[in-house]
Amino acid sequence: MHTAIASSRTLPRRAPAIDIAAQPALSVVTIDVTVPGTSSAAGRRALLAALGEGSRLFVIAVDKRNDCITFRVDVMARSVGDVVGALASALRDATVGRVRAVCLAQSSAQQH
């Protein structure tokens, strides 16, 4: 009779347990932001300074009567609160409109 000897090559490998709930989710946050002025260049600079160069900005309305311009912004963020907080601290006169977040995946980065 042959005795089976277990080796590391024959045993199934088990991945370490990961607490998915503890990992922060990465989302695409889409938000409509109205800023004073009718120049898209000035509004774009202000939004990129607040949210980062990786943000995608689209002009969706220019209101010359009320002297404001509305952008739709797509930004990668951990949460809607992060995006709104960045806007509130950098753009005092901005108005936040429609907000939508789509969770893409759990992030593998850990917060320290």
The pLDDT confidence band at residue 53, using thresholds 50, 70 and 90, is confident
The pLDDT confidence band at residue 58, using thresholds 50, 70 and 90, is very high
Q: What is the DSSP string of 26-65?
A: EEEEEEEEEEESS-HHHHHHHHHHHH-TT-EEEEEEEETT
26 vs 31, higher pLDDT: 31
pTM above 0.85, yes or no: no
Interval 36-47: pLDDT, tens: 998 899 999 999
Domains and CATH numbers, the chain: 24-105 (3.30.70.2040)
Give the separation between CA 66 and CA 90, rounded to whole angstroms. 21
